């Protein structure tokens, strides 16, 4: 237990957290590149049908990646609890690199037929396993390396790096739209970000070699982590993670990723305009993360979660219905950015809340597995459900669906204890 008496210095904490954050950013760049560029490559892999049908097919593959995330969460969570957080984070980067390079090199339907979407699905499975493992282990790593008094702030920084990856992907899309024609983007330009993502993942592998292991993992004394042990000893915490995640992840994927397609496919904005609106709103969202996280260090995690649940359930339907009829870019930016600021009350603290619920010996698995299951069920299917309702002629039903799920999570927020004052992270 000597590690408890010699916590890392401020500089060591900062260096290690930033090393983890860099990998987070790159993995999320790779992950969200699929969503950002789907408007361009959907026709390459799914040539049949109108734009909505093509996007529906690409969204189905997007959802497949999400359903692979619980597998990655399970494997990497166990690996992170048994071997180390650092080792699991390094392994996840390799898988993301493999998925990105595979998509970048994959020929289209016109060249190899049905094999093209099959390869795309396999690549997304690799990325899903990687992303599922990355979130749990990196969130655990950040939570254990951060000091007790500012864990909320670093949780906000953690999520800001996730948004940074998505924002970089969108910015690259905007740049490519300026230097390439629409025909070039459709033909080969969409492959560029997947090559870049693969290369960045290799750089992160080298960067993470110098990370320190966390004091909590070094000082662990409990039993070896097992899946059965998590389910048997921590069923309430596992269900709690799923419940508090459902509304937050659906809210984020509605206003943070699907909204780009919504603006182009429903509101009538051009693809470039939809990307610009989303990019500006996400920048506001990114800035809000550490602010909200720092606020949770003062007032607690639970008040922020409740605020998201109440306000999110009240504004979702009005915001989406107004956006559907909006043709002014500034109005659209204000609506999307405002909705995302509300969502930030959840996203800024969601990593630390999950980590504070579990003891060291099962923390990575406990954070990753139930979160990934809920994320797959509600976040990963958001685009598919929205487009399915639209194709069926009942697009507004999706607005109601999002509202109901957020209300369900609000019930969880109202009944849970504040993890800031009941944290199981005992090391400072």
pLDDT digits (tens, 9 = 90+) for 257-271: 899 889 988 888 988
What band does 2 get if pLDDT is binned at 50, 70 and 90? very low
Q: Given CA atoms 340, 346, 348, 354 in this order, what sign does their dihedral have?
A: negative
pLDDT of residue 5: 42
Q: Give me the residue label for tokens 């390094």.
A: 90
> What string of DSSP letters covers 394-411?
-THHHHHHHHHHHHHHHH
pLDDT of residue 166: 81
What band does 49 get if pLDDT is binned at 50, 70 and 90? low
Every domain of the chain and the residues it spans: 2-415
Mean pLDDT for 137-151 is 83
Highest mean pLDDT among 144-153, 180-189, 403-412: 403-412
pLDDT of residue 337: 97
Q: Which residue has the higher pLDDT, 212 or 411?
A: 411
Mean pLDDT for 203-221 is 79
pLDDT of residue 271: 82
- Percent of the chain's residues with pLDDT above 70: 94
HSE-CB of 176 using CA atoms within 13 angstroms: 25
Mean pLDDT for 69-73 is 87
Mean pLDDT for 392-414 is 95
What band does 34 get if pLDDT is binned at 50, 70 and 90? confident
Alpha-carbon gap, residue 158 to 22, rounded angstroms: 10
pLDDT of residue 89: 87
pLDDT of residue 231: 84
Least trusted range by pLDDT, from 108-112, 277-281, 414-418 = 108-112
- Percent of the chain's residues with pLDDT above 90: 36
Reference 223, options 77, 364, 362; nearest CA is 362
What band does 50 get if pLDDT is binned at 50, 70 and 90? low
Question: Is a pLDDT exceeding 90 seen at residue 308?
Answer: yes
CATH of 2-415, one of 1.20.1090.10, 1.25.40.10, 1.20.1250.20, 3.30.1360.20: 1.20.1250.20
pLDDT of residue 361: 86
Q: Within 10 Å of residue 308's Cβ, how many Cβ atoms?
A: 28
Q: Which residue has the higher pLDDT, 201 or 415?
A: 415
**Beta carbons within 8 Å of 93's beta carbon, 6+ residues apart:** 23, 26, 27, 130, 134, 201, 204, 205, 208
Burial class (CB in 10 A: 0-12, 13-18, 19+), 229: middle
Mean pLDDT for 23-34 is 84
Least trusted range by pLDDT, from 66-70, 238-242, 355-359 = 66-70
Question: Is a pLDDT exceeding 50 seen at residue 347?
Answer: yes
Report the mean per-residue pLDDT for the chain: 87
């Amino acid at each position: 237990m000597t590690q408890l008496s010699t916590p890392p210095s401020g500089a060591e904490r900062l260096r290690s957290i930033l090393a983890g954050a860099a990998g987070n950013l790159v993995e999320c760049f790779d992950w969200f590149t699929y969503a950002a560029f789907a408007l361009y490559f959907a026709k390459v892999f799914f040539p049949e049908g109108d734009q909505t049908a093509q996007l529906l097919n690409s969204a189905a593959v997007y959802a497949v990646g999400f359903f692979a995330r619980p597998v990655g969460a399970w494997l990497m969570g166990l690996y992170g609890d048994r071997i180390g957080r650092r080792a699991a984070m390094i392994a996840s980067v390799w898988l993301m690199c493999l998925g990105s390079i595979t998509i970048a090199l994959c020929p289209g339907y016109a060249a190899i037929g049905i094999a093209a979407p099959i390869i795309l699905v396999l690549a997304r499975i690799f990325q899903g396993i990687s992303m599922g493992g990355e979130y749990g282990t990196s969130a655990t790593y950040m939570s254990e390396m951060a000091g007790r008094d500012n864990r909320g702030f670093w949780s906000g920084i953690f999520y800001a790096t996730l948004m940074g990856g998505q924002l970089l992907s969108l910015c690259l899309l905007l740049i490519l739209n300026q230097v390439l024609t629409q025909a070039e983007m459709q033909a080969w330009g969409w492959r560029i970000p997947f090559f870049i993502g693969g290369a960045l993942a290799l750089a992160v592998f080298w960067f993470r070699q110098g990370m320190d292991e966390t004091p909590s993992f070094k000082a662990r004394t409990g039993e070896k982590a097992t899946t059965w042990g998590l389910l048997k000893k921590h069923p309430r915490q596992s269900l709690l993670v799923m419940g508090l995640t459902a509304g937050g992840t659906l809210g984020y994927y509605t206003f943070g990723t699907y909204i780009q397609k919504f603006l182009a496919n429903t509101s009538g904005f051009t693809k470039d305009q939809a990307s610009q609106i989303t990019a500006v709103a996400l920048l506001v969202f990114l800035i809000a993360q550490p602010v909200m996280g720092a606020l949770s260090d003062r007032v607690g995690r639970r008040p922020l979660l409740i605020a998201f649940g109440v306000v999110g359930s009240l504004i979702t339907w009005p915001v989406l219905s107004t956006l559907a009829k909006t043709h002014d870019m500034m109005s659209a930016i204000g609506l999307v950015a405002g909705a995302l600021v509300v969502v930030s009350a959840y996203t800024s603290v969601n990593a630390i809340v999950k980590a504070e619920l579990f003891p060291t010996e099962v923390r990575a698995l406990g954070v990753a597995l139930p979160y990934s299951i809920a994320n797959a069920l509600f976040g990963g299917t958001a685009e598919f459900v929205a487009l399915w309702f639209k194709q069926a002629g009942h697009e507004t039903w999706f607005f109601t669906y999002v509202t109901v799920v957020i209300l369900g999570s609000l019930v969880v927020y109202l009944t849970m204890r504040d993890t800031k004052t009941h944290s199981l992270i005992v090391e400072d």
